[in-house]
């Protein structure tokens, strides 16, 4: 682990894409370039191999390669959070242990997908991981639209009392949850939005920042928006967010990270590789994405 106090990490945290060649091989040199770019643009932290990083399609060696490259290339300039969640508790424990060995600063652990555990099952899942790897801070991740499982605020409250569980990434699409979780869990528990379209409002509701898809393509502007919001300059945060709003929408016109990868290729940051079952962007949406990016560059 690095020397970061992860309970203090706020602002714009990018869920970075995994660059790939046209043939689908992981492009580690392009990944290093993305890390440098994000740091230069003011991104506050990097999530390696979250779902935006196509975690379901990377094998174990590739997962280690991407996480390890982000850690070694960041060189302690920003914290690196490893996506270690699976729908097997034992596999999640093993992956989280490996993230610790690789030097990750924290683990982002999505709720088990497909299994549809109960709230008690979720509690037992996360506490088992936390007890097995107590040295590594854990960020919960609730995204029911992807997993078929909704972790309720009262379960987050219970888990917030488990020592190494320091934060949650909330992406249920319910803005009222941010104030609810903040009230339940207190000021020291970190609450991130997992939805870019709710990012600005979530900060106004007491959130601490965003684990973001949009930051992949507009890192500087997204970081400025979060910084303004956290400084309680909500007028400026809303102004900046107005330039990001078309991107928040356009980046989900097709399954994530297809649109992000299209724009990053257009920008010369990565090649065009993406893995099945996802596909490259259809031509019908190219104009929409170019216009959204253009709007963000006018801020």
As annotated, the binding site includes 52, 211
**CA–CA dist 170, 191 (Å, integer):** 7
Distances in whole angstroms, Cα of residue 120 to Cα of each of 154, 160, 279: 11, 14, 37
* Start-to-end CA span in the chain (Å): 36
Active-site residue (options: 10, 95, 169, 265): 169
Distances in whole angstroms, Cα of residue 135 to Cα of each of 17, 33, 88, 138, 255: 27, 30, 21, 9, 35
**CA–CA dist 280, 21 (Å, integer):** 12
Active-site residue (options: 141, 192, 227, 265): 141
123 is catalytic: no
* Residue 11 contacts residue 226 (beta carbons within 8 Å): yes
Binding-site entries for pyruvate: 52, 211
192 is catalytic: no
Distances in whole angstroms, Cα of residue 45 to Cα of each of 1, 4, 26, 41: 14, 11, 21, 11
Residues belonging to the active site: 141, 169
């Amino acid at each position: 682990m690095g020397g970061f106090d992860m309970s203090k990490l706020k602002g714009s945290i990018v869920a970075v894409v995994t660059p790939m060649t046209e043939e689908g091989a992981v492009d580690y040199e392009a990944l290093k370039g993305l890390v440098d770019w994000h740091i230069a643009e003011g991104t506050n932290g990097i999530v390696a191999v979250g779902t935006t990083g196509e975690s379901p399609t990377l094998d174990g060696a590739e997962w280690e390669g991407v996480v390890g490259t982000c850690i070694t290339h960041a060189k302690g300039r920003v914290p690196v959070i490893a996506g270690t969640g699976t729908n097997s508790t034992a596999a999640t424990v093993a992956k989280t242990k490996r993230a610790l060995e690789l030097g990750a600063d924290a683990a982002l652990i999505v709720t088990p997908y497909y299994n549809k555990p109960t709230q008690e099952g979720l509690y037992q899942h996360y506490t088992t991981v936390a007890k097995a790897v107590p040295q590594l801070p854990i960020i919960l991740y609730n995204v029911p639209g992807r997993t078929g499982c909704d972790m309720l605020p009262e379960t987050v409250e219970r888990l917030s009392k488990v020592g190494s569980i320091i934060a949650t990434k909330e992406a249920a699409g319910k803005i009222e949850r941010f104030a609810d979780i903040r009230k339940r869990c207190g000021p020291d528990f970190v609450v991130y939005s997992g939805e870019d379209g709710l990012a600005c409002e979530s900060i106004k509701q007491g959130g601490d920042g965003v684990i973001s898809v949009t930051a992949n393509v507009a890192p500087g502007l997204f970081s400025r928006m979060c910084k303004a919001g956290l400084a309680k300059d909500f007028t400026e945060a809303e102004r900046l967010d107005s330039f990001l709003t078309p991107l928040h929408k356009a980046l989900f016109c097709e399954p994530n990270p297809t649109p992000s990868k299209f724009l990053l290729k257009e920008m010369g940051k990565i090649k065009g590789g993406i893995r099945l079952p996802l596909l490259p962007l259809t031509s019908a949406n190219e104009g929409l994405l170019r216009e959204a990016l253009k709007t963000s560059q006018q801020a």
